[in-house]
Every structure is written in C-alpha cells, then in structure tokens.
Structure 1
Amino acid sequence: MTAWGYLVASIGVLLIGAGAFFAGRTTARRRADRPAGLTVADLMGMVVQSSHDGIAVLNGFGDVVLHNPRAEELGVVRNNRVDDRARRAAELARRDGGLVQVDLSPLEVKGRQPEAVHAEVRVLVENFVVVAASDESEAVRLEATRRDFVANVSHELKTPVGALALLAEAVLDAADDQEEVRRFSAKIMQEATRLGTLVTELIALSRLQGAEKLPVLDTVDVDVVVTEALGRSKLAAESADIEVTTDEPSGLRVEGDRTLLVTALSNLLDNAVAYSPPGSPVTVSRKLVDGFVEIAVTDRGIGIAEDQQTRVFERFYRVDKARSRATGGTGLGLAIVKHVAANHGGEVKLWSLPGTGSTFTLRIPAHPDRDAPTPDPAQQELAATPLGGEL
C-alpha cells in the first residue's frame, strides 16, 4: 500500500471510529471496566496530526471537520476555512469520484512561507473528502536552479566557441599574410585555453555541487596547501606585477582532500591577482580559531559592494565583467571555493570595502590533534583584522 493509501485508511478509520463512538457512547458509558491505553483510532489520529503533509477533511458542505497543524502552516486551512481552490477541487472530486490535483501555492509569498504547495483531493467515505497537501518549494527551486545553470552554461560556452569560429575564418582569409595569421592564431590559442578552463571548472563544480561531506578524509598539512597554491598562481602574479606574501609556516593540519583545498586556495589567489591593480600587494595568512583553520587571502583591489557580496559565490557571477573577460575568468572560481569548503564541513567568509580591497577566508575544521601548535595571541589579533583596519 502506498503512503497515500495509508493516509486515506488512517483518516477513514478516524471517521468511522468517530461515528461508532457517537453511536455507541451510551453503551460505552455503562462499561466501568473499559481497558486503559491507546486505541487504533488514537494511533491513527496521532499519525495524521504529526504528518509532514497538510491534511484537511471536508464534509458535504465544504466545511473543515478535521485538519492537522501542517495544513495551517501550508495555508490549506485558515481560520478553520479551507482554501477556495481546495474547496472547488473537493466539489469536482465529489462529482466525478476521482483524484483531483490542485495547486495551492501562495499567491503572495511572504517571509518563510512555502513557495509551492501541491495537493491531491479525493473522496473518502460518503460525502467526506480529504485534501492532502505537500510543500514542493525545494523541488521547484532546484528545477529553477537547473534551468538557470543550463542557460548560463549555454551562454558562456557560446562566447568562446563563436570567437573560435570567427578567428578560424579570419585565419583562412589572411592565409597569405603571415603576420595576421600569427596574430589570429595567438587569439585562437587564448580562446581555446579559456574554453578548456571553463569545461574543466564545470566538471569540477558538477562533481562538488550537491555532494555530501567528504566520506574519506586524509590528514592535510596546511602549509603544503599554501605552498602549492602559491606555485600555481606565481606566473599570473608575476605577469600582473603583484607580490604575494605569506606569514610564517604554521604547522596546522586539517582533515580533507589536498587537491580540492589547493584548487580552492588557488582560485582565491587568482581572483585576488585578477582584481588588483599592478604593483599592489596580496597576502596569505593562516591561523587556528575555535577549532577551525582559517586561511585568509587579502588584496588591495577594487573591492566588492555590500549588495554584491552575497552573490559573488554564484556560478558565472562577475563583479567586473570587463576585467573578468580580459583576464580569462570563467565566473566559476568562487562557486568552486564555496562547495569545496562545504564538502569539508567548513565555509568561506568575505570582508570587502569598495576602493580598499577584500579578504576571503577559507575556514576548514582543524585536525583533532592535541599536539597542534597554538598560535601567538598577538599574531591571531593581527591576522583577524582584514587589511590592517577595523571591521
């Protein structure tokens, strides 16, 4: 029997039990030796009352004779009156005798209200009709996210693919001009590299997104992660005339995947370099705070406005689209950082001020090692203040 079948049976038992109770209440009163304890009807009533779905039973006049608290939370029942859409669906089910699907989503979503509520309506016994509603908000949001992702990917892939086609055509037209061929070939290589990076990051993000916390954790040396990430970003920093400095080795360790952590920190460094003016400094610091290892990347770049700070971790979102295009950015780097942190049971935090710079802090649970070093309090206080100023 399906969950719906059990639910209908439960409510049917309740109604039949209620009828039997009222019909035989006189007899019941005469029984002095009635056994104590819960009856089947009591148990069924508890099931309905505790159900995650909203349940409402209507009589032949459309009045609510039974409902659970969840029905009020989902907006199916308000002030002991059923939603007009559910009442019309009940009339249709009573007339045709079949199952009726009805959308009971709020017409105006306020606060933490469910965004999408779907219900099934069917006849129970005689003129009684049951409305069973469920919150489908999460499924609707996931579907919207999937559609946006597909649309964004299509748009992002079309740009380099279209550029490659145009550049290839230009090379054919300038086949006799070696200088032009070299120039267009260099641009083809640049677009091909960008396309390859985009595909690689899309694959990495698809593997990370929706994944649970990493099941197999290795002990990872934070100093090794920092060193490897600095190595990956060295060429880009030198090309932009930006000096990346770090604090002293910490000896800190975390539990996780070294490759993913290096990728996340590299993305933060690449962002810091890409959005900083030539000659400005970028710093990397690490510390232990409340059982978490914090790796902070600070730049003196363009900064991020407060209204954009919650969006920078979205896929394909760019603070400065022109600068991102010029540096070959894909708009996926920070999304990957967010998911790497989440998969490790941590988070990524942002402090930023337009015109001053930004500090991205990757927080990962520390390895449970009693011998882990305790950072100097003065160094902790200095590192906790982004950009050397107050928050």
Structure 2
Amino acid sequence: MTAPAYLALSICVLLIGGLVGYLIGRRRSRGTARRPEGPTVADLIQRLVLDSRNGIVVVNPFGGAVLYNPRAAELGVVHNNRVDDRARKAAETVVETGELVEIDLTPPETRGRQPAAVRAEVRPLLDGFTVVDAADESDAVRLEATRRDFVANVSHELKTPVGAMALLAEAVLDAADDEEQVRRFGGKILREATRLGTLVTELIALSRLTGAEKLPELNSVEIDAVVREALGRATLTLESSGVAIATDEPSGLLVDGDRTLLVTALSNLLENAVAYSPPGSPVSISRRLHEGHVEIAVTDRGIGIADEHQQRVFERFYRVDKARSRVTGGTGLGLAIVKHVAANHGGEVKLWSRPGTGSTFTLRIPVQRVNGDKVLARIPAPGAEIDHGGAL
C-alpha cells in the first residue's frame, strides 16, 4: 500500500472512530438525562408509610407481617413481629369477602403510654395480601366521655337550684299569712336564684374559653390593676367571711391579655381561698416576674388539698369537699375557668398544697413582649413618668 493510500485509510479510521465515540457519548448523555433525579416512587411510598401518623401493616395470605411502620408497633397492632390476633382474623375475612372491615384494636389493658382507644380498617390488596390501617382515637374517646359527663353534671347542677326554688315558692304560698316565714323563705329563694345566675354566667364564660367564641384581641394589661379590681370584687365575700387579704407592693408588671378574663380568674382564686379558709385566717396575694412569666400567687392557710385531688380540682364540677361547696354556694367551675383563662393567654396555673397547712394557686402569664423583647413597666418614683421600654 502506497503512502498516500495508507494516509487516507488512517484518516478514515480516525473519522469513523470519532463519529462512533460521539454517538456513544451522546447516547450516554441522553440516558443520563432520562434517568429521574431525586427519590423514586418506591422511596416516596416507603417514606409515606414510615412517617404516617397511623399504624400501617401489610399482611400476607398466611397472616404474617410483610411490612409495618414504627407507629403500628406503638399502637400494639404488631408485637414482636406478630400481627394482633384480631387484625389477623379480620384480614382473613377481608380475603374471603373482598370487602373492607372495621375493627377495634384497643389494648385489653392500658399500660404506660399505650393508647386508650385504637380503631382500624382492614382493606384488601392483591393476591391475598391485606393492609391494616390503625389510628389512635384516644383523644376523641376522652372528649366524648368528657362531653357526656359535662352534660350530666350541668343537668344535675341546674336541677338542684331550680328544684329548691320550686319547693321554696310552695312554702311561701303556704305561709302567705306569716310575714316572718315569707321573709325567711324569700331570702332562701334569693340565694338559690343568685346561685343559679352565677352558674349560668360561669357556664357561658367557660363555653367561650373552650372554643365556642374566639378570644378577644389581647391588649396591654397592668397586673396591679387586675389585682385591685379582683380585690374590689371580693369585698363582700371578705366582709362576710372575716378573712383578711394581705398584698405585696405594686409590681408595675405588664402582660398581653384580656383584662376582664384575668380579673375573673384572679377573683375565682380569691373566692376559692376565702371559701376554704377558717374565719380570721390570712390570705395573701403576691406577684413577681419569674422565667419570662408574670406570676400571681394566692396563698391561704385553709384545709389544704390531698395529693390525689390536686390534679382533678381543675376539672369542671369537681369538688374536694362537696358538703362545704354546698354551704358556700360554689359551682365547681371556678378553677376550670382559671385553667382555661391561663391557657388562652399562653400560660398555666400551678398548685401547691398540703392538708392542714393550706394551698397556693399560682397564675402564670407570659410577660409582655415588644418587638420580641420581654418588657415590663417600671414603678416610678413619685411624680416621675412610667418607662415602658426596659427590656429584660
């Protein structure tokens, strides 16, 4: 082969090799472009199952767990890699009928953090496989139980004063010619009517606080003004009880809140302290700033509350001493209102108590914030102006 021919052949080989390399590279680049970026559909489905708030279990035709998420183990649908017998039997029924089955998978005995109510749906998949979808409905069950108790308690509490007023009215009619008896029974009717009115008022307030109506827009509230107004409301109660209330010095503290609701909450704490204190014993109010919260503490030297009752005293209509509550005319709603007022202000109410020593109820409300900073009003010297701009 001559030199020119050899040269021409070499050039052709190089051109063909370059073209083939170009085509292969382009095909590879196209293949790379077609490959989906990020997670695959299988990855997304797996993540969906694992992160689901419900317990998900895929059951094979033999009743074994093929796949399940951690939530299924938390709800007790799967234990030691074994499917709950109730769910397994429901899966067999679903395979036979091809229809969805709803079952109750509530644990026989609630221990620790186990849910109090678990409901599940068992649905067919393919080739004898089924899926168990379990949800924790403990909150819904507790809410329904609370609603039933609330309705029953309200019915009972309303029936008592209404029935008493009817009997007293009959007594007044029978003693129409006896002026002294008419006055006596008339006074009792007035007391029952007052109790009924207070009960209805507190029920309305509690209804608003638990979501029936939106909480009004919060404003800057002076804690000292709240204390003064609550003391003013308690004047009549204090005069009739013989209990003296001592207060600390004005604090100048400010919170964002609804003044009327805060006064109501503090008034309820004061009335509760007075009602459960013996005549002549002291009741005190103190206020301070602690850990970003304004704390108003009401302390009495009354009968105190046993440990087993301390978590329940904030429940509606719960009374530690029912006989004493009847004497004082309490409705059993005061502390429940305090709890909801605190919660609606982003705070809480705490209780310390010891039988025979007394109790301290502490209302904690977040201190006022301006532009993200905690702010309180300073107590000025006489004649000076209040500075509201001191950030803590």
What's the TM-score once normalised by structure 2's chain length? 0.84
Aligned residues: 344
Task: Give the distance between the partners of 1:356 and 1:45, measured in 2 at CA.
Answer: 59
Contact 2:220–2:254 (8 Å) recurs in 1: yes
Contact 2:209–2:215 (8 Å) recurs in 1: no
1:130-141 paired onto structure 2 within 5 Å: 130-141=131-142
- In the alignment, what sits opposite 2:207? 206
Q: Tell me by how many angstroms 1:212 deviates.
A: 10
- In the alignment, what sits opposite 1:250? 251
Task: Give the distance between the partners of 2:360 and 2:316, measured in 1 at CA.
Answer: 20
- 2:164 maps to a residue whose letter is A
Contact 1:276–1:300 (8 Å) recurs in 2: yes
- 1:47 maps to a residue whose letter is L
- In the alignment, what sits opposite 1:97? 98
Q: Tell me by how many angstroms 1:76 deviates.
A: 0.9
CA spacing shift, 1:148–1:371, aligned 2, 3 Å: closer
- 2:312 maps to a residue whose letter is R
- In the alignment, what sits opposite 1:52? 53
Q: Cα deviations across residues 209-256 of structure 1 (Å, max 9, x unaligned)? A: 257995721000111100100000011101111221211111111110
Contact 2:294–2:366 (8 Å) recurs in 1: yes
Is 2:333 aligned against 1:332? yes
- In the alignment, what sits opposite 2:188? 187
- 2:156 maps to a residue whose letter is H
- 1:144 maps to a residue whose letter is A
- 1:95 maps to a residue whose letter is E
Contact 1:213–1:343 (8 Å) recurs in 2: no
Q: Cα deviations across residues 83-124 of structure 1 (Å, max 9, x unaligned)? A: 111111111111111111111110111000011111111211
Q: Tell me by how many angstroms 1:373 deviates.
A: 3.5
**Structure 2: segments with no counterpart, 5+ residues:** 1-30, 381-392
Task: Give the distance between the partners of 2:353 and 2:164, measured in 1 at CA.
Answer: 34
- Matched residue of 2:284: which SS? strand
Task: Give the distance between the partners of 1:316 and 1:239, measured in 2 at CA.
Answer: 24
Greater gyration radius: 2
Q: Tell me by how many angstroms 1:278 deviates.
A: 1.1
- 1:179 maps to a residue whose letter is E
- 1:38 maps to a residue whose letter is P
- In the alignment, what sits opposite 2:119? 118
- In the alignment, what sits opposite 1:388? none
1:135-174 paired onto structure 2 within 5 Å: 135-174=136-175
Task: Give the distance between the partners of 1:240 and 1:370, measured in 2 at CA.
Answer: 38
Which stretch has the larger CA shift, 36-45 or 358-367?
A: 36-45
- In the alignment, what sits opposite 2:3? none
- Matched residue of 1:358: which SS? strand
Contact 1:242–1:278 (8 Å) recurs in 2: yes
- Matched residue of 1:56: which SS? strand
Contact 1:288–1:374 (8 Å) recurs in 2: no
Segments ≥4 residues shifted beyond 3 Å: 32-37, 210-215, 369-375
Task: Give the distance between the partners of 2:123 and 2:159, measured in 1 at CA.
Answer: 49
Task: Give the distance between the partners of 2:227 and 2:376, measured in 1 at CA.
Answer: 21
Contact 1:213–1:344 (8 Å) recurs in 2: no
What's the TM-score once normalised by structure 1's chain length? 0.84
Task: Give the distance between the partners of 2:354 and 2:308, measured in 1 at CA.
Answer: 11
Task: Give the distance between the partners of 1:111 and 1:370, measured in 2 at CA.
Answer: 42
1:1-391 paired onto structure 2 within 5 Å: 35=35, 37-210=38-211, 214=215, 216-368=217-369, 370=375, 372-373=377-378
Q: Tell me by how many angstroms 1:306 deviates.
A: 2.0
Q: Tell me by how many angstroms 1:289 deviates.
A: 1.1
- 1:373 maps to a residue whose letter is R
CA spacing shift, 1:371–1:346, aligned 2, 3 Å: closer
Q: Cα deviations across residues 159-200 of structure 1 (Å, max 9, x unaligned)? A: 111111111111122222222111111111110110110011
CA spacing shift, 1:371–1:168, aligned 2, 3 Å: closer
Q: Cα deviations across residues 110-159 of structure 1 (Å, max 9, x unaligned)? A: 00001111111121112111111111111111111111111111111111
The CA RMSD over aligned residues, in Å, is 2.0
Contact 2:202–2:333 (8 Å) recurs in 1: yes
**Structure 1: segments with no counterpart, 5+ residues:** 1-31, 376-391
- Matched residue of 2:166: which SS? helix
- In the alignment, what sits opposite 1:3? none
Task: Give the distance between the partners of 1:76 and 1:284, measured in 2 at CA.
Answer: 52
Task: Give the distance between the partners of 2:237 and 2:58, measured in 1 at CA.
Answer: 66
- Matched residue of 1:209: which SS? helix
Q: Tell me by how many angstroms 1:42 deviates.
A: 2.1
Q: Tell me by how many angstroms 1:372 deviates.
A: 3.4
